[in-house]
């Protein structure tokens, strides 16, 4: 990648501060403006984030990958028919299409314990990168606990609450939704997990959900996310609820770097 | 009453509330709410009909019932008939003509502000083009004071926003210093904390206070946490400069934020009592101590819009703001997402509408020129809004390192963006801050960054400690 010609730009002699923050500091300047490299860096990050939102998820490929692992899946649509409608009408992304409802009704009517739903959400790359590897860890754990699971539901143009209708259909008390999160410039492929106990369509609110967010390469690992989710499931079964009254008490081990915890401006 | 025949078709809009919604320039949030005009012709018909509505009608027909909504009561009970007298004979259409004319000089606009209701201002904005919104806002002058003076002519201030994903003190300090060395931070040094708990808030408040004192920076700090948390911090003796709160234009929406007018009043009094503003050069005490944020769509997102279009809802939030004589009001225009403002075009217009409405109502209006990655917008759109806002005399913009907020995950404006505006429009920072920047060799006499790439003496030892 091209570098700026040093003589054209004014560097900032405080590069060392970059160790403390992922923020775009000490960028230097061309005149008073962003140097070419910093400017294109930003455009690159934005392009990745935009593509994460707009490039459709390869549902057939995902179904195939799950198949290889020995897991059945159903592909369902919401009432948001196109991407622009999906972005402007969150309400429609929470409702199953007529064909999706028919598809579910076709499936076996016996009751299940837990549903696993995968929705593209706002980042198809998040699901592309993280859904299948995470399910590799999660599904054996759920089976080990003796939960009866229907096919994994893959939902196109889905919002978080789409899981409610699916859980309700299967009369399952545990609803686990994996969804692509709103992409940031530094994390275009961040996946979130929303867990709802006794989810009911049109009734469950965000206050009744627990969220495990920021699952990506530089964020929460699959193992950490799994640990949190399994904790929430166990506690929800005990308390018979999820959401604001169910607190995640697992600890995040963060290195306690002395230099980072103190403030160099106040030494 | 709100009936019009256009193109051989009769449109009957029945209520003022419906007329306002149909007359709104198109935006996704009004369609999400089922309120937007069915087509272009219906919108224009509504705009014609709205232009014929006498301003007085807004005093007779409340858009949200008086009995149900304390914001309506605030607007109605607080209306200043004497200030209104000068324009009371006008229709909405003629009000636009008047605003554009030389009759509406700066002093006159200041004098009529208490006689204007948010709904009158929202109505006239709906029939104004972008150049009208800019021209009239530019004539308004709203000056506020705390440790410096914001809103003077040909000045532009910046909020330094040194957010960090985990509120790490060194991480916050790194962005803070980067911003100061780029000449940013006179409106406020304001952190959005990653967590809303009291301990984290106290830590950040003390840290900002220590930095401002140690380096004698003529500015003020704010930790943007819920007003109840800030009240607790004040009880614990924390150094609170500006009290922050997000506000909206209906009682129901404010309920969903966990606030009401009484609570805001309590917080305002508590901050006034701290009296942490400065005695400024002209002998006045800096006592504007509130910082409010707003944004079109916030009421609808709480399902509390009461059948109002989102721009009218937004203007009503300014009635809440002006009751408490804020130091800063910030419309965070593109943060909310494409279901409310779909693309660059909608975001740009909304930002300029909000700035116009706020200024006309007498508020120190700034704008977080921003967007999310799922909106149809990019840096070019932000450059357009940024430039137009500055031409309109916007009070302040955000300063985020490289325009990328690594905590809130959205794109705002950068330190470099502010410097661009200073160059092309000759805009200066607040006078007290300008003096500090020049004294420490950060800015030269023309308010440009110094050419020498060295760190100013003021901060040299802090950085040296680091490398040892």
Q: Which residues of A touch B373 (CB under 8 A)?
A: 46, 49-50, 52-53, 182-185, 188
In order of A183, A222, B291, B317, the CA distances from A180 in angstroms are 8, 15, 34, 33
Q: Which residues of B touch A266 (CB under 8 A)?
A: 173, 207, 210-211, 214
Determine the residue among A25, A94, A248 to mutate to test chain B binding: the one whose Cβ has the most chain B Cβ atoms within 10 Å.
Answer: A25
Beta strand B157-160 with B149-150 is: unpaired
Are the beta carbons of A224 and A178 closer than 8 angstroms? no
The DSSP secondary structure of B299-338, one letter per residue, reads HHHTT--TT--HHHHHHHHHHHHHHT--SEEEE-TTSS-T
Q: Which residues of B touch A50 (CB under 8 A)?
A: 373
Q: What is the pLDDT of residues B138-176, one digit of tens each?
A: 999 999 999 999 999 999 999 999 999 889 999 999 999
By the 10 Å C-beta count (0-12 exposed, 13-18 middle, 19+ buried), A258 is classed as exposed
The reply to whether A5 touches chain B by the CB within 8 Å rule is no
Interface list for A 152-171 with B (CB within 8 A): none
Are the beta carbons of A14 and B455 closer than 8 angstroms? yes
Q: Which of A237, A57, A189, A67 is nearest to A135 (CA)?
A: A67
- A101-115, B143-157, B209-223: the lowest-pLDDT one: A101-115
Decide: helix, strand or coil at residue B463. Answer: helix
State which residue of chain B sits closest to A35, comparing Cα positions: B416
pLDDT at A139 over 70: yes
State which residue of chain A sits closest to B408, comparing Cα positions: A184
Give the model's pLDDT for residue A1: 54
Are the beta carbons of B434 and B157 closer than 8 angstroms? no
The reply to whether A127 touches chain B by the CB within 8 Å rule is no
Question: Mean per-residue pLDDT for B201-214?
Answer: 96
Tell me what percent of the residues of chain B surpass a pLDDT of 70: 99
Interface list for B 399-418 with A (CB within 8 A): 400-404, 406, 409-411, 414, 416
**C-beta atoms of A46 and B374 within 8 A:** no
- Name the DSSP class of A32: T
**C-beta atoms of A24 and B402 within 8 A:** yes
Give the model's pLDDT for residue B194: 86
CA angle B279, B285, B291 (to 5 degrees): 115
The DSSP secondary structure of B179-225, one letter per residue, reads HHHTT--SSEEEE--SS--HHHHHHHHHHHHHHHHHTT-S--EEE--
Q: Which domains does chain A have, with CATH numbers?
A: 3-20+28-53 (no CATH), 58-239 (3.40.50.11240)
Q: What is the ipTM of this complex?
A: 0.95
Q: Which residues of B touch A184 (CB under 8 A)?
A: 373, 406, 409-410
Q: Which residues pair with B3 in a beta bridge?
A: B12
- Within 10 A of B398 (CB to CB), how many other CB atoms are there? 26
Are the beta carbons of B166 and B440 closer than 8 angstroms? no
Q: Which of B331, B218, B227 is nearest to B270 (CA)?
A: B227
Are the beta carbons of B127 and B50 closer than 8 angstroms? yes
**C-beta atoms of A23 and B171 within 8 A:** yes
Give the model's pLDDT for residue A6: 74
Give the model's pLDDT for residue B287: 96
The reply to whether A207 touches chain B by the CB within 8 Å rule is no
Q: What is the pLDDT of residues B36-69, one digit of tens each?
A: 999 999 999 999 999 999 999 999 999 999 999 9
Cα distance from N-terminal residue to C-terminal residue, chain A: 38
What's the CA gap between B169 and B148, in Å, rounded?
A: 26
State which residue of chain A sits closest to B174, comparing Cα positions: A17
pLDDT band of residue A256 (cuts 50, 70, 90) is low
């Amino acid at each position: 990648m091209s570098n700026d010609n040093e003589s054209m730009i004014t560097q900032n002699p405080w590069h060392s501060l970059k160790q403390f923050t992922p923020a775009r500091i000490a960028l230097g300047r061309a005149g008073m403006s962003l140097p070419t490299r910093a400017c294109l860096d930003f455009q690159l990050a934005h392009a990745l984030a935009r593509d994460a939102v707009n490039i459709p998820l390869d549902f057939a490929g995902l179904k195939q990958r799950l198949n290889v692992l020995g897991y059945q899946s159903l592909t369902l649509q919401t009432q948001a028919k196109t991407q622009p409608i999906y972005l402007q009408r969150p309400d429609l992304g929470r409702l199953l299409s007529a064909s999706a409802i028919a598809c579910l009704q076709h499936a076996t009517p016996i009751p299940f314990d837990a549903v696993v739903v995968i929705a593209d959400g706002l980042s198809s790359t998040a699901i592309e990168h993280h859904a299948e590897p995470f399910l590799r860890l999660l599904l054996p754990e759920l089976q080990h606990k003796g939960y009866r699971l229907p096919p994994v539901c893959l939902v196109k143009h889905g919002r978080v609450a789409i899981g409610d209708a699916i859980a309700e259909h299967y009369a399952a008390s545990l609803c686990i939704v994996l969804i692509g999160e709103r992409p940031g410039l530094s994390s275009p492929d961040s996946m979130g997990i929303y867990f709802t106990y006794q989810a009911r369509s049109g009734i469950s609110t965000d206050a009744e959900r627990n969220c495990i967010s920021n699952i990506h390469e530089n964020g929460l690992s699959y193992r950490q996310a799994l640990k949190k989710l399994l904790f929430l499931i166990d506690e929800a079964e005990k308390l018979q609820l999820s959401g604001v009254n169910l607190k995640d008490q697992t600890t995040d081990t963060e290195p306690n770097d002395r230099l980072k915890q103190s403030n160099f401006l106040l030494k | 009453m709100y009936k019009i025949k256009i193109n051989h078709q009769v449109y009957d809009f029945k209520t003022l509330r419906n007329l306002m919604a149909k007359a709104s320039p198109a935006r996704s949030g009004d369609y999400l709410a089922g309120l937007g005009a069915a087509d272009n012709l219906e919108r224009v018909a509504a705009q014609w009909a709205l232009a014929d509505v006498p301003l007085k009608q807004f005093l007779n027909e409340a858009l949200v019932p008086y009995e149900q909504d304390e914001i309506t009561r605030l607007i109605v009970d607080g209306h200043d008939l004497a200030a209104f007298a000068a324009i009371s004979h006008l229709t909405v259409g003629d009000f636009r003509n008047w605003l554009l004319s030389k009759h509406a000089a700066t002093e006159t606009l200041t004098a009529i502000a208490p006689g204007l209701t948010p709904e009158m201002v929202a109505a006239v904005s709906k029939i104004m083009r972008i150049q009208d919104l800019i021209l009239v806002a530019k004539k308004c002058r709203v000056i506020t004071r705390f440790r410096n003076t914001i809103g003077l002519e040909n000045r532009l201030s910046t909020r330094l926003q040194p957010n960090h994903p985990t509120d790490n003190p060194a991480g916050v300090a790194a962005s803070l210093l980067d911003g100061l060395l780029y000449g940013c931070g006179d409106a406020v040094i304001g952190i959005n904390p990653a967590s809303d708990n009291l301990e984290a808030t106290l830590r950040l408040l003390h840290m900002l206070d220590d930095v401002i004192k140690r380096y004698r920076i003529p500015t003020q700090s704010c930790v943007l946490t819920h007003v109840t948390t800030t009240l607790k911090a004040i009880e614990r003796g924390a150094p609170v400069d500006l009290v922050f709160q997000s506000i909206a234009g209906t009682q129901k929406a404010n309920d969903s934020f966990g606030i009401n007018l009484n609570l805001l009043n309590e917080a305002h009094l508590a901050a006034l009592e701290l009296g942490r503003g400065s005695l400024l050069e002209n002998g006045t005490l800096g006592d504007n101590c509130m910082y409010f944020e707003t944004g079109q769509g916030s009421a609808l997102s709480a399902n509390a819009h009461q059948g109002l279009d989102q721009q009218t809802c937004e203007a009503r939030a300014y009635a809440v703001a002006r009751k408490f004589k804020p130091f800063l009001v910030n419309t965070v225009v593109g943060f909310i997402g494409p279901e409310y403002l779909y693309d660059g075009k909608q975001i740009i217009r909304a930002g300029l509408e909000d700035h116009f409405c706020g200024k006309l109502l007498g508020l120190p209006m700034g704008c977080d020129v921003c967007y999310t990655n799922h909106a149809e917008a990019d840096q070019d759109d932000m450059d357009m809004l940024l430039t137009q806002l500055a031409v309109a005399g916007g009070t302040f913009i955000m300063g985020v390192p490289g325009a990328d907020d690594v905590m809130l995950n959205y794109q705002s404006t950068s330190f470099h963006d502010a410097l661009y505006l200073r160059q092309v429009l000759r805009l200066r920072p607040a006078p007290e801050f300008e003096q500090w920047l020049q004294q420490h060799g950060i800015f030269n006499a023309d308010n440009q960054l110094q050419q020498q790439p060295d760190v100013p003496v003021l901060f040299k030892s802090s950085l040296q400690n680091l490398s040892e």
